[in-house]
Structure 1
Amino acid sequence: MMRRPVIAVAGLACETSTFFASRTRAAAFQPRRGDEVIEKYAFIQPGSILGESADWRGTLISHTLPGGAVTRDAFETLSAEILSRLREITAPIMLDGLWFGIHGAMCVQGLDDVEYELLKCCREVIGPDVLVSASMDPHGNVSRELAHQTDLITCY
């Protein structure tokens, strides 16, 4: 029997408007962790074609409603948890892939290209040879740096 590829799922998403005076804090995000990540997506759940084709490992996905810039503390807290969970997953095994779910329009106080910054840190954990697929909103921003960190970018 052929080994199924091991694919981690991670992501942060907030459609940010820098014109809002309010700030988006960590409490506004709705995190899902571990198996909750897999349960969110019917198409990768056990019993589905994709669910049976790979060994899906949830880290953390967290989305919030559109709002003002995300606080640096919120971004760093949620990012640290993603990275910690990736380290736990990759300690005993090598990943074959990472599904990186983002919106593409998140702004964080004091950072210019947050999706790239997070993915760069993920790459430091998973290595340069793991296939990374990013899914994002069609009007999201794709910087050169983000594009260089991914193997595939699709819109939802």
Structure 2
Amino acid sequence: MRPTLAALAICLSLAPLASVAQQQVAFGGLKTDTKLPVEVTSDSLSVNQTDGTATFTGNVLIVQGEMRLKAAQVDVAYGKTDKSKIDTLHASGGVTLVSATEAAESKVADYDVTAGKVVMTGDVLLTQGKNVMAGQKLTVDLASGTGQMDGRVRTVLQPETQK
């Protein structure tokens, strides 16, 4: 009887962790002030004044506060009324989003600068300390530091070691 109760207790204690992986997750390390300037560096830049877009290619690095986004190419759409402000960014070619405590990788990422939301898609891998989460889509609200992983979510949680 005791092994059954122990197994039940373990299953019940892990149940909240499984549901957390498929719902909202705290991304405190990816929280940033979305009103800070966005700095973009790359090997080359192509600007289209007609439609208000720009394409950065080669070792693209985007910095906003503590957040760093790296990709092979980033397409930028500037505001419709204020062409000096970035509206959206579309990163492709092996995207990495890094903060002081977390890192996420994907094939593609879309950053709505105005809304402060990043959507990463395609083989997403998120690392938070020793914990790892994988899925097909990660949506992060940079202002609140919350997010959601979707698409056959797999989570590996490392228990704390006691000394």
Would you call these one fold, judging by a TM-score over 0.5? no
TM-score band, normalised by the shorter chain? Answer: under 0.3
- Per the normalisation by structure 2, the TM-score is 0.27
**Larger strand proportion, structure 1 or 2?**
2
- Per the normalisation by structure 1, the TM-score is 0.28
**Larger helix proportion, structure 1 or 2?**
1
> RCO greater where, 1 or 2, for CA within 8 Å and sep 6 or more?
1
